């Protein structure tokens, strides 16, 4: 739960400034591409929406992994303070963990929980909106009906198929409904075009072609599926107003792209623009937009911009289109790198509202635990530990000596490995071959050193192998195996304690 709170809090607070920065630079990139095709604009807006979610998400996952590791290090026992070289390593790990904790920005517990509660409340509201939109879509589908055989509709569909390669299959149903005021599209496997019932008796072939052609393009582009994906991507960042701007821009550029394809492949731009005005203006202002879980001709409330885009004749030169596209991508890339580089880490302060009785109980448990741990340590070691805690200079001297011991031990081990001609597996086979049983321990050591890291002329490098016989009463056998030639130097029997007492 603690890691989850840290992840969510870091995600929300980083997203507040990261999304703002990304959207500001996206607006600049979008302005640079104002003369480009709708396909490029739509690709840029979709990339912007994905980045708005990806950057805060990645900024929160990496610190969460580090926190899990650091929290695990802080929870390790410190009872082995006097256990040789492990003391220095344990102290360094604890220092690094403490430094990692200090890099977090700790918020007041009440403020942190309020932010998390508000975020979860917004997520719940967005989930409710999606559920409501899905229910509305089901209601529209159930209320739609198929008109009698209509040669005009079939001819328009055939014309659209010839003009645009539809990847959704050959079967597309055109239905009518009293529940919609603008043409919409729904369905993944069997897509359906649902037209307002007012178009049932429409005699204008241009108007029907515009309505059906636009929705046919949505089906050919798989816009229904992608729209659902974009809605789910928007949910985690829906608390940010700039994210809503990105989502709206995705819908706008999608409609511009569909208009571009219809005006290029199916109808003349002037004819389609005239029909588009008629279709959009015939719907009431309160119901022009289609539900969140469908796509329709009036999804983007930018009718004037769409008409101007259709009637615009001038196109920028190909060279300038490349340059502006490259500059726009660079402009959009800058905030992504900056936002990921300067991501902050947040945490909630521990709960300080425990009752006095609970605090007393916890203090008593800690005291009893410390007392038990102290009883496990010999008296002289407890004295040394107390002196280390009270005398920083003495503690530094002890720690320095132990670090030297660790270095000497490492140097000694390196020399032993270099001198040994027999590896550990071979030594175990030699010992167990002479004394069958279970090998409990095998260690590499030497006798007679001139100085640390230099073995004496008459020094011996050996493996000490401890073998437990199959018969428990036989006890343990300590076998010293020469690490150079594999010969057995000596053996010792360790008789069980109960046998010695007899």
pLDDT for 230 beyond 70: yes
Contact, 6 vs 346, CB < 8 A? yes
Burial of 499 (0-12, 13-18, 19+ CB in 10 A): exposed
Which residue has better confidence, 170 or 410? 410
SS3 439: strand
Contact, 181 vs 287, CB < 8 A? yes
pLDDT the model gives residue 58 = 87
d(CA 92, CA 78): 12
Which residue has better confidence, 241 or 455? 241
CATH 3.10.450.40 location in the chain: 416-501
Q: pLDDT of 151-162, one tens digit each?
A: 778 888 888 888
Q: pLDDT of 66-99, one tens digit each?
A: 555 555 444 443 333 333 333 344 444 444 444 4
pLDDT category at 393 given cuts 50, 70, 90 is: confident
Mean pLDDT is lowest, of 62-71, 273-282, 462-471, for 62-71
Residue (of 220, 286, 284, 208) closest to 254 by Cα position: 220
Contact, 476 vs 492, CB < 8 A? no
pLDDT for 46 beyond 50: yes
Q: Which fold has domain 416-501?
A: Nuclear Transport Factor 2; Chain: A, (3.10.450)
Contact, 171 vs 190, CB < 8 A? yes
pLDDT the model gives residue 78 = 38
Mean pLDDT of 373-391: 66
| Rounded percentage of the chain residues whose pLDDT exceeds 70 | 77
pLDDT the model gives residue 126 = 92
- CB-based contacts of 79, cutoff 8 Å, min separation 6: 373, 376
d(CA 237, CA 227): 16
Mean pLDDT of 20-24: 90
pLDDT the model gives residue 243 = 94
Q: pLDDT of 320-362, one tens digit each?
A: 666 777 777 787 777 778 777 777 777 666 665 545 566 667 6
pLDDT the model gives residue 421 = 85
pLDDT category at 385 given cuts 50, 70, 90 is: confident
Report the predicted TM-score, pTM, of the whole model to 2 decimal places: 0.62
What would the 3-class secondary structure string for 322-370 be? HHHHHHHHHHHHHHHHHHHHCCCCEEECCCCCCCHHHHHHHHHHHHHHH
Mean pLDDT of 5-29: 88
Mean pLDDT of 420-442: 86
SS3 316: coil
pLDDT the model gives residue 85 = 38
pLDDT the model gives residue 101 = 44
Mean pLDDT is lowest, of 153-162, 232-241, 254-263, for 153-162
Q: The tokens of 393 are what?
A: 């200079």
SS3 276: helix
* Interhelix angle 392-419/86-102, nearest 10 degrees: 120
pLDDT the model gives residue 77 = 38
pLDDT the model gives residue 121 = 95
The average confidence (pLDDT) of the chain is 78
What would the 3-class secondary structure string for 464-495 be? EEEEECCCHHHCEEEEEEECCCCCEEEEEEEC
d(CA 318, CA 358): 74
């Amino acid at each position: 739960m603690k890691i989850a709170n840290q992840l969510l809090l870091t995600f929300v607070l980083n997203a507040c400034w990261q999304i703002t920065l990304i959207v500001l630079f996206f607006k600049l990139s979008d302005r640079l591409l104002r003369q480009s095709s709708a396909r490029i604009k739509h690709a840029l807006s979709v990339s912007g929406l994905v980045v708005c979610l990806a950057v805060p998400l990645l900024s929160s996952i990496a610190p969460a992994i580090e926190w899990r590791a650091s929290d695990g290090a802080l929870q390790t026992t410190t009872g082995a303070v006097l256990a040789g070289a492990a003391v220095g390593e344990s102290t360094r790990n604890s220092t690094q963990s403490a430094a990692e904790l200090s890099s977090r920005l700790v918020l007041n517990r009440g403020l942190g929980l309020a932010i998390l509660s508000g975020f979860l409340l917004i997520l719940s509201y967005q989930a409710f909106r999606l559920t409501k939109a899905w229910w509305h879509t089901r209601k529209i589908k159930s209320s739609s009906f198929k008109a009698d055989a209509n040669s005009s509709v079939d001819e328009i569909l055939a014309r659209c198929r010839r003009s645009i390669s539809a990847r959704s299959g050959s079967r597309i149903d055109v239905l009518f409904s009293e529940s919609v005021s603008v043409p919409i599209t729904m369905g993944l496997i069997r897509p359906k075009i649902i037209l307002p019932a007012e178009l049932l008796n429409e005699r204008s072939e241009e108007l029907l072609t515009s309505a059906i052609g636009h929705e046919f393009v949505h089906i050919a582009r798989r816009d229904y599926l992608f729209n659902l994906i974009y809605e789910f991507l928007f949910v985690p960042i829906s608390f940010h107003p700039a994210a809503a701007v990105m989502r709206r821009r995705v819908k706008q550029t999608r409609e511009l792209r569909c208009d571009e394809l219809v005006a290029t492949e199916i109808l003349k731009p002037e004819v389609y623009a005239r029909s588009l005005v008629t279709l959009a203006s015939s719907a009431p202002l309160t119901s022009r937009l289609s539900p969140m879980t469908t796509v329709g001709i009036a999804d983007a409330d930018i009718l004037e911009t769409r008409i101007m885009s259709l009637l615009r004749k001038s196109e920028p030169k190909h060279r300038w289109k490349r340059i502006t596209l490259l500059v726009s991508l660079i402009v959009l890339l800058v905030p992504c790198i900056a936002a990921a580089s300067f991501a902050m880490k947040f945490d909630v302060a521990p709960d300080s509202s425990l009752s006095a009785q609970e605090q007393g109980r916890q203090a008593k448990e800690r005291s009893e635990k410390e007392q038990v741990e102290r009883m496990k340590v010999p008296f002289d070691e407890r004295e040394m530990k107390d002196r280390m805690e009270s005398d920083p200079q003495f503690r530094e001297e002890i720690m320095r000596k132990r670090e030297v011991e660790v270095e000497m031990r490492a140097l000694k081990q390196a020399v032993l490995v270099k001198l040994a001609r027999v590896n550990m597996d071979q030594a175990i086979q030699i010992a167990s071959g002479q004394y069958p049983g279970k090998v409990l321990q095998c260690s590499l050591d030497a006798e007679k050193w001139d100085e640390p890291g230099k073995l004496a002329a008459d020094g011996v490098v050996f493996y000490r192998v401890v073998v437990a016989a199959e018969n428990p009463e036989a006890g343990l056998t300590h076998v010293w195996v020469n690490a150079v030639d594999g010969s057995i130097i000596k053996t010792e029997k360790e008789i069980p304690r109960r046998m010695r007492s007899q």
